[in-house]
Structure 1
Amino acid sequence: MTPTIHDVARLAEVSIKTVSNVMNDYPHIRPATRQRVLDAIASLDYKPNLSARGLRSGKTGLVSLIIPDLRNPYFAELADIVVRAAEAQGLSVMVAQSNGQRERELSLLVGPRMQMVDGVLFSALGLSAEDNDLLARIRTPMVLLGERILDGPKDHVTMRNVEGSEAATAHLIGIGRRRIVALGSDPAQGLGSAALRLEGYRRALRHAGIEEDPDLLVDVIGWYRRTGADSMRAFLDRGVDFDGVVAFNDQIALGALRVMQEAGLHVPDDVAVIGFDDVDEVRYTLPSLSTIDPGREEIVEVALRYLTGRMDGSDADVPPRDHLTSFRLIQRESTTPA
């Protein structure tokens, strides 16, 4: 028979309440008692019945995290932070990948999994303003992550895309670069990360009195190492003079970095390069990559605070909130002249 919480309590010689407290990682439990319960759970291969728990309490303790693409290290690292932060609050996280496709996002928002969760953290990419009415009808507590491409009545937490890109571009200008490539524009994306980071790039040029050169705007469709490499290779083939690159995320920066080095360009002596996102791997490239830290930890902390407030009803009467995180420019070898 499938083991129950009663079986765990008997084997560990504790109360059912203690077993529940251990599973929810509550503090103030003696280490020896906690270990006994964990050993009993492992021995019995006990798995909580979330459906039964939901029927009794009206809550499942599950939160859904919907993100576009786990291949993108930014979202993979974001998911890791969400899972750890949620577990510290006694919540479990169900991660779903939307691939940035509207139909997939809609199916995740209105499908059966919505009956299983107490709240949703949703990084939208495929939906548009035409879907605002749909968001308004969803009763499950929800916090939107990412760019404000929607205007539904939901809390929203995002990074300072414009300001971060402006700081990255100003940093290159500050070390003497004037022919700076904007790597990552995407005319088909609309008001998303690409458009916002391009606006930041343009602001920095204007403030420095540098005229924008259309030849230095390089489209990248899909922000991966491969697409960054392909776009940089095509740009080099055009023979345009440049001495800096502001890449709109770290992955396309890494792809471009490889192609430039293959072409005999030295970074940062010939070309200074800065990315955006501060994913873990850019600390270990040669050269290490300067980048913008967009404040992932703050995004998760605020988003979970907003979501749990909606879930427990304490923020039920609070109007929808918008929060922009702080950011940091991190200078590494790719913009530090020898």
Structure 2
Amino acid sequence: MTTTVPKVFAFHEFTGVAEAVADHVVNAQNLALSKEPFAIRNGGGASGSGSTQAANGSLAVPQLSGHVSRQASTRSISGREPSTPASGSSNPNIRSPSSSKLKKIKEKRFKIALSGGSLIQVLHEGLFKRQDVQWGKWDIYFADERLVPFDSPESNFGLTKRKILDLIDTATYGSPRVFHINEALIEDPQECADDYEKLLIKGFAGRDSVKLPMFDLFLLGCAPDGHIASLFPNFQENLRENLAWVVSVTDAPSGPSNRISLTIPVICHSHQVTFVVEGATKAPVVKTIMERPEKGLPSSIVNEGAAGRVAWFVDDDALTDVFVTKKKYKFLVHTQEPERAHTES
């Protein structure tokens, strides 16, 4: 394997990683939300992508419990549509957008995939220091999920709910739409994977036929054993899957044995793929990924498959004895100095 070397941004400590990752996420958000035509963005009082005023709506996540019905799980992912922009204008030469254009404005979303683990703490640490996160325009999917009840500490959705979703000031910033697995299906990994794939098809394909979903940003960690999402080294069948969007995982070598995971082609098809890795325990696997890509670890496969669109945010401990060219991260949407106080959950 002749992997293209990804961008590696290194920081002295965890706080630096968290602030830079938050800036990186907000930049991806702004890029995604600014794709509508300029005339539509500015006509009839519609807000541009720089506005922090998001759509109103209740947080579309269920309460944590040991069991939810399939019907309840389906309802939990459907947030309210944004309010229709005001169309009154004193200038008769400015035409209000048509209803079809307004629909396009309302439907523009920032689609992000999250893995679990320490990444969620990084996001918690960084995003809540900012005032430019347009939560109401986010569609949050999960890179993988452990098939455990949502109230389990092992649940990626459960952790994200406790550390991020429950803490959002929805009155100010709106509510993200959250797309999680059906908790009622956790005893059947294949059915759960099939059901989540249908959810992805509904969110990305709609009436059109698309080969792969395209996330605006795919955020991943990397475990000391080299697995990303729930794609493990030496699980060749899953690593070579090139048709399914979601696969079931059974007999995982660490953590909960039953899981689902988005596949390598889905990850590599994203506009941006970002790894967030910290701690000295990760240094040996990072060394293998960066210096021995021919070993074929999942991260190396992604570095190759999404070449030019991959970035790594790491602390210095994770780069101990790793030979790699470090880059200095330049803040892109750093419009104000981040608050230094930590937001406790």
The TM-score bracket by the shorter chain reads under 0.3
More helix by share: 1
Specify which structure has the bigger relative contact order, considering alpha-carbon pairs within 8 angstroms and separated by 6 or more residues. Answer: 2
Instruction: Give the number of the structure whose alpha-carbon radius of gyration is greater.
Output: 1
Q: What is the TM-score normalised by the length of structure 2?
A: 0.27
